[in-house]
Structure 1
Amino acid sequence: MFNRSSVDSPYRPFSREQWSTLAKATPLPLTNEDVARLAGLGDPIDLAEVDAIYRPLSKLIELHVTAHRELAASRMKFLQASPDFQVPFVVGIAGSVAVGKSSIARVLRDLLSRFPSMSNVAMITTDGFLYPNKVLEEKGLMGRKGFPESYDRQALLSFLAKVKAGSGKVNAPVYSHVTYDVMPDEFIEVDRPDVLIIEGINVLQPPRLTPDAHQPTIAVSDYFDFSIFIDANHADVERWYIDRFLELRKTAFTREDSYFKAYADLDDQTAISLAKQIWTEINLVNFVQNIRPTRTRADLILSKGPDHRVQELHLRKL
């Protein structure tokens, strides 16, 4: 759809150069040290990328937050009611495994928290809402971990409903990429944030169909006020996934409590072959069938090039 003219498309296209000129409207509060701390494994995000792409994006989101609050205040005035809490603004970030969602979420969290009106910015990942391994094994879903059916969707919807309702101290479960399982006694507490960033590969999935056509359904994205999809060519994502696998083989896989400890001693050729197999049989299938088809449900699509840098952006028209 993005080869069509901007008049015919619901999105307004921007080249990297066009978008980066918008940075002049926003101060750059991060340093090289900040960016290095926030960057994810294998994601070469740097201050130049933050300056060109995420600095303008933080300002755009701040404008949405301000407009959201003004509309809420105007509506309450019209209803002759007094607001009893400020509804958190929720940003959803979707995209494939290894595409850089976590790095982008962390950078946006730090950028947004520097605006005086958004000092309380929380972030969670939907990995914590995966069913525990024991449940996945019982359901026969261990080989489809990360597919939509492997998540406790009702628990995630309940969490978001409580956050949007203004509930204080709502707990989100935590997932360990070392043990490859949900941590039974660990939680992230979300307490009425100004902004909540939630990232996950399938957060833009449409509502599920039910046998009863009259039964209302709801999607996770129904709770989003602004959504972002990180897009890239699947061949590039495969390469990034393999590179990350090789790096983890030398780091996290070496831990005694690692679920993948048996992979730590693999030679390069065997490790690459295994990573390609996992990518082809699991992650690529999920990417093609479930993840990439949801990109046009996003408010903003960030298209990355082979070097992990954003080359094009498509912003949904208001």
Structure 2
Amino acid sequence: MTDPSYDVLLDRARTLTTGPRRVLGLVGPPGAGKSTLAARLVGDLGPELAALVPMDGFHYADRVLDALGRRERKGAPDTFDAGGYVALLRRLRSGAEDVVHAPEFRRDLDEPVGSALPVPREVPLVVTEGNYLLLREGPWAALEGLLDETWYVAPDERLRLDRLVARHEAFGRTPEQARAWALGSDGANAAVVAAGAHRADLVVDPG
């Protein structure tokens, strides 16, 4: 099933809100529109049914990336605390705690902020989104079995690149720097993400 309408996607997400807590993962390359789609789904389902927990909250802080010599590759798989993300998903799935507090990535700071997103036990669906939910290498392999469904978000490639460049410009890069980053570091990461697309339950073109 490819390119379903948004209403179909919303109905499909709603089916995951019955029974024990479920986790829906939205995955795709940088600039695909994962965050926008995830926020829209959670907003339309409402706070009683769904909570949003992005993977980006597990970016290493810039000072950690500097110490590791990875600052120029920020966004690559080894610039995230994958083990921390796996542990959080396990906590969310278990339902053993009244509230689980997840970290949030602040684009205005370009840094993660801890314990910013409370997820009450009674919320039946957690929507998480990020680049590497379908990666099966290194610590990311532990994600297998933690997501009840995964949707691969794949817009038109030119649109994706235009969005990505605009995002980088909005947060302070020059047009030349923005395009270089989108085609360079982001381009390499996009290839890694695309290699796992076949593992998704659904392919979505968000338009």
Under a length normalisation based on structure 2, what TM-score does the superposition of the two structures give? 0.88
For the pair shown, the structure with the greater C-alpha radius of gyration is: 1
Residue identity opposite 2:194 in structure 1: R
Is 1:109 aligned to 2:32, yes or no? no
Q: What residue is the counterpart of 1:204 in the other structure?
A: 134
2:102 is the alignment partner of 1:172 = yes
Map of 2:159 onto structure 1: 236
Q: What amino acid maps onto 1:286 in structure 2?
A: N
The question of 1:275 aligning with 2:205 is answered no
Question: 1:243-282 counterparts in 2 under 5 A?
Answer: 243-246=166-169, 248=170, 253=171, 260=172, 263=173, 271-282=174-185
Contact 2:17 2:49 (C-alpha < 8 Å) held by counterparts: no
Letter in 1 for 2:130: G
Do structure 1's residue 227 and structure 2's residue 153 form an aligned pair? no
Aligned-pair CA distance for 1:56: 1.3
CA contact (8 A) 1:201 1:291 kept: yes
Note if contact 2:135-2:141 (Cα within 8 Å) is conserved in structure 1. no
Q: Secondary structure at the match of 1:232?
A: coil
Contact 1:95-1:101 at 8 Å conserved across structures: yes
Change (3 A) 1:135 1:245: closer
Percent identical pairs in the alignment equals 22
AA in 2 matched with 1:178: D
Which digits, 9 at most, give the CA deviation of each residue in 1:56-84, with x for residues without a partner? 11212333444xx3xxxxxxxxxxxxxxx
Instruction: Return the alpha-carbon distance in structure 1 between the equivalents of residues 78 and 166 of structure 2.
Output: 27
Tell me the residue number matched to 1:134: 63
Residue 189 of structure 2 is aligned to residue 286 of structure 1: yes
CA contact (8 A) 2:50 2:127 kept: yes
- Per-residue Cα deviation, 1:252-311 (whole angstroms, up to 9, x for no partner): x4xxxxxx4xx4xxxxxxx322211111221011101x111111111110135xxxx1xx
User: Structure 1 residue 295 and structure 2 residue 197: aligned?
Assistant: yes
Shift of 1:233: 4.4
Q: Within 5 Å, which residues of 2 pair with 1:26-65?
A: 53-65=5-17
AA partner of residue 137 (structure 1): D
Cα drift, residue 186 of structure 1: 4.7
- How far off is 1:158 after superposition? 0.9
CA contact (8 A) 1:234 1:284 kept: no
Contact 2:16/2:125 (8 A) holds in 1: no
Alpha-carbon distance, 1:218 to partner? 4.5
Q: 1:284–1:159: structure 2 CA closer, same or farther, 3 Å change rule?
A: same
CA distance in structure 1 between the aligned counterparts of 2:144 and 2:6, rounded to whole angstroms:
22
Structure 1: how far apart are the matches of 2:6 and 2:134?
A: 21
In the TM superposition, residue 112 of structure 1 has moved relative to its aligned partner by 2.6
The aligned residue for residue 112 of structure 2 is 182
Equivalent residues, number: 205
Secondary structure at the residue paired with 1:222?
coil
CA RMSD, 1 decimal: 2.2
